[in-house]
Each structure stands twice: as structure tokens, then as C-alpha cells.
Structure 1
Amino acid sequence: MRPFEFPVDKPHAKAVNETLSDIRRLQWSAVLMAVLLGAGAAGLFYLAQPWSYILGVVLALCALMSLFMVVWTPRKVGSIEDLYAKGNLVPAVVAEVHPRGYTLLALLDIAKPHASKPHYALATRTVRALPGKEYAVGAKIPSVSVLGDRTSRDDGETWQMVSVMPIAWGTRDSKVLTQATAKIGDVEWGLLRKNLSMAEKVRTSDKQYVLLDPAELPDELH
């Protein structure tokens, strides 16, 4: 565990943090789906047939579930301060530069608290922008891990959903970014640089992360 505390700049985060943008898009999608399902249910009720009433009730219930997602999603994820506070400080580097963004390659331990040992993995996240300047391949982007499960019943040793969130999305203070970068050991930065060629394989994998062979890890990470 390596938490990293810093004062989150909320106006800045609301403007540039793509995790928040993803949540807002998910909410709007749920609203649109609720409207479509509600309209379908109304049309079926208008037909006033036994079978249409049954289907109308089903669509109405689905519409309510979509509206529930609008409220539930931000509560499940938590505030931006919660995301930064719960995540561990992890190294990430720019692995690919695209016309409209970057691919970040990160090294993180995706083991759950009850796991018997660490489970280090390479993970990628494609981002549209990183505040401050243009970045080249290999640039250090200190980040925090964002880990979770798709269901509450998974009791495996590793998290199912793995992502990272750049600290630069939470603050404009260059001193904070320098401190975060320095807190991550050279061994971890070096391991990422060594595996830059893995970025495409990781990005195109089903889970967008690839577990590393413990035998290939530096002694410091055992």
C-alpha cells in the first residue's frame, strides 16, 4: 500500500479529469435509455392488450432501473477526493502518442487486501489529454490506482476492473507532481521503461491489463 495525500483542486478536476467525464457519460446514457424504455412502455399501455400490458410493465421496470443507475453510479464510485484517497500511488508512463491523446502504461499491484502475495500487472489507459504540456513517449505520469469488481460476489485474489488516474487530473501544483514522482522508486520506473514495447499487447487485451511473471520481477517487488 502506498497512499499519496494531496489537496484535490476540485474546479481543475471537474474540468480535466476524464474519470468524472466517463461517469457523466454513463449517467446520460442511462437517462437516454430510461426515456426510450419509458416511451416504449407508454406505447404498449396505449395498445391496451393483455400482452402489451405485460410487456409495458417489464419496460417500465427497466426504465426505473436505468434511472436508479443515474443516482447509484456516482455514489458507488465516490467523489473525486475519495478516488484519489482510496487509490495507491503507482507509476505510469506515456507509451504511445496519438493524434488525439496518449496511451499510458502503468505498473500496479492488483491484489486484494486478503491476497497471500502481490500480483503485479501492467495496465493501460487511453486518455484524451494530460494538463500542462505535450508529452513524449517515456514521460513519467504519477497516478493512482482505480480498482474494483464487477460484482460483489467475486472472492478471487485480484480485482476484476483495473485502471489508473493521473494525479495531474487532480491538481495544478507542480510541487505535488514532483513529490509524487519522487516517491516512486527507480526500480518501478525502470521496469516500466523496460516494458514499453508491451503497451500494444496490454491495450488490446480483453481486460487492458496483463499479469507479470513473479520470476521476472526485481527483488524489490517480491
Structure 2
Amino acid sequence: MRRFEFPVDKLHAKAVNETLGDLRRLQWSAALMAVLLGAGSAWLFVLGQPWSYILGVVLAVCALTSLFMVVWTPRKVGSIDHLYAEGDLVPAVVSEVHPRGYTLLALLDIAKPGAGSPHYALATRTVRALPGKDNTVGKRLPSVTVLGDRTSRSEGETWQMVSFMPVAWGTRDAKVITQATSRISDTEWNLLKKNIPASEKVRTSDRQFVLLDPAELPDELH
């Protein structure tokens, strides 16, 4: 595991970090659903029929669940400082340029703690914008992993949910980004560059990541 701690610029992260943007959209969706379900529940109770009371209770429970999601989601994900501090530093590059965004390709070890060996994978993330200029294919973007499981009872040696955040989404300081870039070995950068042509295959896979065959990895990554 390779951690990289740096002072997170919260105002900058709030403006450009799309992980935070995705979280805010999820909260708004849950809040809207809670309002709609609550209104539906109230209308059913007003009808005053035996069947409407039953459905009203069901909708009320669903509304409360949605409200719980509004509060629980950010606590589950953690603060932006926590995400950057707890994630592993990994290499990522711009692998595709689209009319309205970019696809990033990263090399990650998605093995859970306690797994007998690393499980390297290629992962993609499509983003709307990136800080800075010259965001052409091959540009290096040191990043931090965001890994998790869909349920607390998940088994297996690898994480189910795999994503990453560029360090540049957490700081404007070019020196910090340069330092993060240098902390990653040339072996990893070269392996990632070699796999840029596989970006579309990874992006269109079910989970947007593809495990690499250990036999194809450089000795340094075994």
C-alpha cells in the first residue's frame, strides 16, 4: 500500500472534484424521492380507505429510508480529506478525449487487506473536466483509489466497487502533483501507457475494470 498525504484544498475540491459532485447528486435524488414518497403517503392517508392506509404506511417507510440515505451516504463515504488520506496512490492517464470530457485509465491493486497476493486491474473513469491545460491522451494524472463493497457481507479477495480521484482534484499546488507523480515507479507508468489502447474495452466492461493476468505483469509488481 502506498499512501500520499497532502493538504487538501477544500474549496478547490468542492469546485472540481467529481466524486463530491456525484455524492451531492445522489443526496438530491434521495431527497427528491423522499418528498415524492411522503406526498404519496399523505394522499393515501387522506383517502381513508383500509387499503390506502396499508399503502400509505409502505410509502412512508420508503420515504424515511430515502431520508436516511441523505444523511447516511456522506458519512459512509467520508470527508474528502479522509478519502485522499485513506486511498492508495496510483498512476492514471488520460486515455480517451471526448467532445464533452475525458476517459481516465488507472492501474490499481484491488486486493482487499489480507489477500494472499496483489490483484492488479485496469480501471476507467469518464469525467467531464480536468484542471489545467494540455489534457491530451497519455497525460499523467497521479490519483488516489476509492475502493469499497456493495454490502458489508461481501466475500472474496477483491473490492467490488473500484474508482479513483486525481490528486489534481484535491490541490492546485503543482509541486504536490509533481511529487505524487515521482512517487510512482516508471514500471507502473510504462505498463499503464502500454495499455492505453485497451481503454475502450475497460470502459465498456460491466464494472469498468478488468483484472490483469499476473503472468503479464513486470517482476516488480509481483
**What TM-score range do you get, normalising by the shorter chain?**
over 0.9
1:192 partner amino acid: L
Q: Following the alignment from structure 2 to structure 1, what is the Cα–Cα distance between the partners of residues 160 and 179?
A: 30
1:48-63 map, 5 Å: 48-63=48-63
Which residue type is aligned with residue 201 of structure 1?
A: K
* Distance in 1, Cα, partners of 2:86 & 2:59: 37
CA distance in 2 between counterparts of 1:113 and 1:43 reads 50
* Within-5 A mapping of 1:1-222: 1-222=1-222
List per-residue Cα deviations over 1:90-144 (Å, max 9, x = no partner).
0000000011111000000000001111000000000111111131100000000
- Superposition deviation, residue 28 in structure 1: 0.2
- Secondary structure at 1:32 match in 2: helix
Match of 1:124, SS state, is: strand
Instruction: Tell me the distance in 1 between the aligned counterparts of 2:204 and 2:158.
Output: 20
Distance in 1 (CA, whole Å) between partners of 2:27 and 2:154 is: 25
1:67 partner SS: helix
Q: Distance between the aligned counterparts of 2:101 and 2:88, measured in 1?
A: 24
Q: Distance in 1 between matches of 2:73 and 2:46?
A: 32
Distance in 1, Cα, partners of 2:191 & 2:179: 20
- Return the offset for 1:76: 0.3
Gaps in structure 1 of 5+ consecutive residues? none
Structure 2 residue runs without a partner (length 5+): none
Aligned length: 222
Secondary structure at the counterpart of residue 53 of structure 1: helix
How much does 1:11 deviate? 0.7
- 2:39 corresponds to which letter in structure 1? A
Counterparts of 1:188 and 1:103, CA distance in 2 = 19
- The root-mean-square deviation of aligned C-alpha atoms, in Å, is 0.6
- What whole-Å deviation, never above 9, does each CA across 1:66-109 have from its counterpart, x for those lacking one? 00000000000000000000100000000000111110000000
Percent identity between matched residues is 80
Poorly superposed stretches of 4+, deviation over 2 Å:
none
State the one-letter code of the partner of 2:218. P
TM-score by length of 2: 0.99
Q: What TM-score does the superposition give when structure 1 sets the normalisation length?
A: 0.99
Rounded to whole Å, the distance in 1 between the matches of 2:111 and 2:66 is: 32
Q: Secondary structure at the match of 2:14?
A: helix
Deviation (angstroms), 1:155? 2.1
